[in-house]
Structure 1
């Protein structure tokens, strides 16, 4: 039963399991599914949550490849988010930036904010959405 739960991870003589990178990527991708939690996925595979978080960091750094979504063919990945308050627009740039809103889309959730929304508020919303996903 352990072999099936571990998805094929091999145990060494020192009783440490060795997880193939492809399996690590699949497990990390499961944490990105709507409603999934790191703790829940880790428990399903008999892992510690901090080990799975370490693998997620590797994926974020591009050191662990995540599998493609079977339905869409899209590769799962982490996207960097950079948040900063914009400086006051110059008169030349004011016309080009006017009317631009901030749009945050995660799965089916789409939030549209005014362009003058403070970066701190945007970061709070992104964290809240990320905690849900």
Structure 2
């Protein structure tokens, strides 16, 4: 490369990366996914970018986009109350409660019964709405 010529392609991690005449590389989706997986497993963005010959801000963008596309689970903050409120009725321990397999979540005065198999993505939306309404 001392003669000013750019290669037409380079090999990275077993992938062939096409290089344009201006030096831009077209990173395959499989390589991007492998880099993101490596970073999520604990590798540094800078080190991974240097290893594959990419700009670290580009690799950071891959990680950010992967997180937005649903590779990571959705979470809702749940805060335990400092003291039990009397407005919330206590959980009954009757015979029907022993056979119950549902889950009960109390947020303030709101109590939500969740049956088995309830869609997690919908539950996240419900919990966010209840939390935002308080």
- Normalised by the length of structure 2, the TM-score is 0.49
Q: Which structure carries more relative contact order (alpha carbon 8 Å, separation 6+)? A: 1
